[in-house]
Structure 1
Amino acid sequence: MLATYRLKVRIQIKFYFDNRYYEKVGSQLKDITDELPFEIPDGWSWTRFTQIVSFDLGKTPDRHNKKYWDDGKYPWFAISDLQERATVNSTKEKISAAALRDKFAGELIPQGTLLMSFKLTVGKTSILGIDAVHNEAIISIFPIISEHEITRNFLLNALPVIVLCVKKREAVKGVTLNSSKLAAMFIPLPPLAEQQRIVSRVDELLAQIDIIEQNQADIDTLYEEFKKRTLTLAIQGKLVPQDPNDEPASVLLERIRAEKKAKLGKKYVDSYIYKGDDNCYYEKVKDSVKEISDEIPFDIPKSWRWIRVDNLFQHNTGKALNSSNTQGISHPYITTTNVYWGYFNLEHIKEMPFTEDEFLKCSIVPGDLLVCEGGDIGRAAIWENDISMCIQNHIHRLRAYYPVCTQFYYFAFFVYKSIGLIGGKGIGIQGVSSGALGKLIFPLPPLGEQERIVKQVEIILENLKDEG
């Protein structure tokens, strides 16, 4: 049988001429004013929970007894099946006819019953949309006055707040609300007509909140779509007009090649992309030439060029975490969990030892573009903090051979990721290993245009936020 809690002793709570509340149990009278959690309007009354309802505790059939769970037929509610202040119609688990017979006396709780969690997650209320049973962390509640379900609906909305007061006052702190504390809960009880008005007003307000939340979700979606579209136009050369007075991208490309050669010395391999007289794209690597038109993702202005990441950035990953490697000096490091689109979360930073050579390879400075190798593949942010920091092996550090507008290439990573050129299919790549990263082809605008593009994007997105 279910454990049922009902009124056994006649209790009266009255408000006397001395502005104090008293509770009469049998012939005993007790001042309870200091126990009441808050003031209530004139016309309301304080009562104990079990003066206006009875409630039943559920059960969990023996998990080791297969006959209780095999061929499950009857819905069995756990807290995870409840939805706050909503009607619930399905469960993750069902019990067998044997379990219903042996543990619940063959009785299902009827559709329309009020449920509330009172262990672990305390005060979560739902209405049963189907006949069912539930576990011992949930109670089924039956108002003594059930006229038009008015009190049930009032308690559906009021109990989460009331239970919160009990948790604070009784110092239960969400661990467990036992049945005796539950039975003794003080309930502020309005007249039935006012209960109905309260429920109607709450329903109206919640509907308005749903509309506001949906509108905000729509706005957020529109903002992200507009941002994606803006950045796509930006990296395709369609956001700001080209200026014939800009130093050509071809000159910038020569500067980058020269700087890379100076830094790499004998390791340097000359390579670049150009457009032939036949309007096809070719890549020259040492003395060999190969057509790569199929690798070009979109059209760009005539004054722009294409460049591989390998030729634009010196890039490498960080150090792998290895508990047996204790050489070097301990330094803080970040990993993919710290990198988000456009910013870093530095709340949880760990340290590991880096040798001098490892520190030179893995340390980051303002202006470095960091790209995730794993997790959300290709997620990127520019490091702007003037603090000592290193990277773990699942992050790429990109540092330009020759000064470019790094923010423009952050935009490029964002767009490439969003349209499937990173971690996607077709001409995209399935992961961002160092080799795959280096082969990515990015547009190279004149430096002046890169800066104008970034400034224009910032203005557009800032104005959009202000309007939102």
Structure 2
Amino acid sequence: MIRTLRLRRGFFLSLTISDTPHYQNVPFEIPDNWGWTTLEEISNYGDCYNVSVTDIADNEWILELEDLEKDTAAIIQKLSKKERNIKGVRHKFKKGDVLYSKLRTYLNKVLVAPKAGYCTTEIIPFNSYCDISTHYLCHVLRSAYFLDYTQQCGYGVKMPRLSTNDACKGMVPLPPLSEQQRIVMEIDKWLALIDQIEQGKADLQNTIKQTKSKILDLAIHGKLVPQDPNDEPSIELLQRINPDFTPCDNGHYPFDVPNEWKWCKMNDLCSFLSRGKSPKYSEDDKTYPVFAQKCNLKEGGISLEQAKFLDPSTINKWDSKYKLQTGDVLVNSTGTGTVGRTRLFDESCLGKYPFVVPDSHVSVVRTYEEINSEYVFAYMSSQLIQQYIEDNLAGSTNQKELYIGVLENLYFPLPPIKEQQRIVQKIEKLFSVLDNIQNAFRSVFVYTSKG
């Protein structure tokens, strides 16, 4: 099959496709009116040339690999030589060139240059001189097929890359120009739809997060479930836990609560409130895990998958009260970005391990049995208390720390025990509905993306 492609300069290039030895092993079947070609046959890498940085004028357009990774035409920056702080040579490219990285990390990052400028020599500017849609070519270069080709012929270990020669020999399935344009329009339509779905997913996640926060806020203010005058007042619960308990009615509490509730301090509710200890770790023994900050997962819940393990010879130094129990509220107490993260422990996560102890970067809030620990967890997870923790951290910007005294003196609005239970049940019901909505949307998103 012979295809003739018109060049911009008025010449013609005839490509012999599919019926010559060079094209016997084509990657996959294509329609009859398509043809196989290569990048070197439909573009002119030779038009690009190297320019010394010292010869590039100030305020020229410069493109670095980090910019290409952002995958958007808005990233080409107009900077002075001093601001660029670059040396050596750069490739010059023209407006409309297809910019393609040779480094494996960026191999699926392709850009149609919106302006003329200069780029690092790790980027190849392809300037098509045939009737080729540059945007169609970009989609081919981003495709799983072409990425697989580049990974097969790439070289290097520390910084794998594609040679210019191999890049130019990369095979391109070529439809007629009008079909290229239709393909680009169809791809753009679906990519726009996916972008809308992704934005909708982000908006939904943000809405669900805000709704959960509002639910917790209503719960700790006594507005999530109705009060029952037949419930035992919480003052009696507190005095049963500690006969010497005396409320400190100083009138400076964070907000008003129902009459049956009573303000106290976190320390009044706890049988154990302490940070963990600095452990001696074992390199070989994997019997006794240590609960660290990373065990409080960022996305929610807890896990011992990344836990380190205690040196068995030091077990006697750990009092039994340090062994975590179901219902313990665990608060990360150090580290910028993680301090204040609050999770509820459940012994079901132990699996084969006999017990787990916390390290010194995690605080344990263990309430008396008469207190509903899930309600305590809800209070500690609320935006109000998370902000309180943030406002009362000590240390430098790079190493924030939550002192145990901040938790001990935290004011706590305690409902009657039966209302605590009703609040927890209501939270679980509402959160379950929100989680189902999020999971259903996630399923639709996965289905749409695959489709």
TM-score range, shorter chain: 0.7 to 0.9
Matched, 1:348 2:306: yes
Deviations 1:402-428 (A, max 9, x none): 3321111111111145662221279xx
Match of 1:79 in 2: 65
Equivalent pair of 1:75/1:132 in contact (CA under 8 Å) = yes
Distance 1:166 1:364 in 2: 52
Structure 1 segment 273-284 matched on structure 2, within 5 A: 273-274=247-248, 281=249
Match of 2:418 in 1: 448
Matched, 1:143 2:128: yes
Higher strand share: 1
Instruction: Name the SS for the 1:451 alignment partner.
Output: helix
Unaligned runs of 5+ in 2: 1-12, 394-399, 439-451
Matched, 1:112 2:96: yes
Equivalent pair of 1:115/1:125 in contact (CA under 8 Å) = yes
Alignment counterpart, residue 17 of structure 2, candidates 14, 18, 37: 14
State the structure with more CA Rg: 1
Alignment counterpart, residue 437 of structure 1, candidates 407, 418, 423: 407
Match of 1:152 in 2: 134
In 2 relative to 1, CA 183–418 (structure 1 residues): closer, same or farther, beyond 3 Å?
farther
Structure 1 segment 188-207 matched on structure 2, within 5 A: 188-207=173-192
Match of 2:265 in 1: 308
Instruction: Name the SS for the 2:382 alignment partner.
Output: helix
Distance 1:449 1:99 in 2: 64
Match of 2:228 in 1: 243
Distance 2:85 2:269 in 1: 68
Equivalent pair of 2:154/2:161 in contact (CA under 8 Å) = no
Match of 1:338 in 2: 295
TM-score, length of structure 1 as denominator length: 0.77
Amino acid in structure 1 at the alignment position of 2:164: S
Structure 1 segment 61-460 matched on structure 2, within 5 A: 73-83=59-69, 86-91=72-77, 95=81, 103-104=89-90, 108-121=92-105, 122-145=107-130, 151-161=133-143, 162-167=145-150, 169-170=152-153, 175-258=160-243, 270-274=244-248, 281=249, 291=250, 293-294=251-252, 296-313=253-270, 314-321=272-279, 331-340=288-297, 342-353=300-311, 354-375=314-335, 376-386=338-348, 387=350, 388-416=355-383, 420-424=387-391, 431-460=401-430
Instruction: Name the SS for the 1:355 alignment partner.
Output: helix
Instruction: Name the SS for the 1:448 alignment partner.
Output: helix
Deviation at 1:389, TM superposition (A): 1.3
Amino acid in structure 1 at the alignment position of 2:102: F
Amino acid in structure 2 at the alignment position of 1:377: V
Amino acid in structure 2 at the alignment position of 1:316: S
Equivalent pair of 2:239/2:245 in contact (CA under 8 Å) = no
Amino acid in structure 2 at the alignment position of 1:160: R
Alignment counterpart, residue 54 of structure 1, candidates 8, 22, 44: 44
Deviation at 1:205, TM superposition (A): 1.1
In 2 relative to 1, CA 68–230 (structure 1 residues): closer, same or farther, beyond 3 Å?
farther
Distance 1:124 1:329 in 2: 43
Match of 1:267 in 2: none
Distance 1:332 1:12 in 2: 66
Deviation at 1:114, TM superposition (A): 1.8
| Count of aligned positions | 403
Distance 2:69 2:231 in 1: 60
Match of 1:40 in 2: 30
Instruction: Name the SS for the 1:344 alignment partner.
Output: coil
Deviations 1:193-226 (A, max 9, x none): 0000011111111111111111111111111111
Instruction: Name the SS for the 2:121 alignment partner.
Output: coil
Deviation at 1:466, TM superposition (A): 2.9
TM-score, length of structure 2 as denominator length: 0.79
Instruction: Name the SS for the 2:318 alignment partner.
Output: helix
In 2 relative to 1, CA 61–163 (structure 1 residues): closer, same or farther, beyond 3 Å?
farther
Instruction: Name the SS for the 1:371 alignment partner.
Output: strand
- Please tell me the root mean square deviation across aligned C-alpha atoms, in Å: 3.4
Q: Percent identity?
A: 27
Deviation at 1:164, TM superposition (A): 1.2
Deviations 1:48-93 (A, max 9, x none): 110111226787979xxxx799x96434322210156531343497
Distance 1:42 1:457 in 2: 61
Distance 1:197 1:77 in 2: 30
Deviations 1:332-354 (A, max 9, x none): 11211221364113331212334
Deviation at 1:431, TM superposition (A): 4.9
In 2 relative to 1, CA 411–177 (structure 1 residues): closer, same or farther, beyond 3 Å?
same
Instruction: Name the SS for the 1:420 alignment partner.
Output: helix
Amino acid in structure 2 at the alignment position of 1:14: I
Instruction: Name the SS for the 1:211 alignment partner.
Output: helix
Distance 1:425 1:329 in 2: 37
Instruction: Name the SS for the 1:273 alignment partner.
Output: coil
Distance 1:58 1:118 in 2: 16
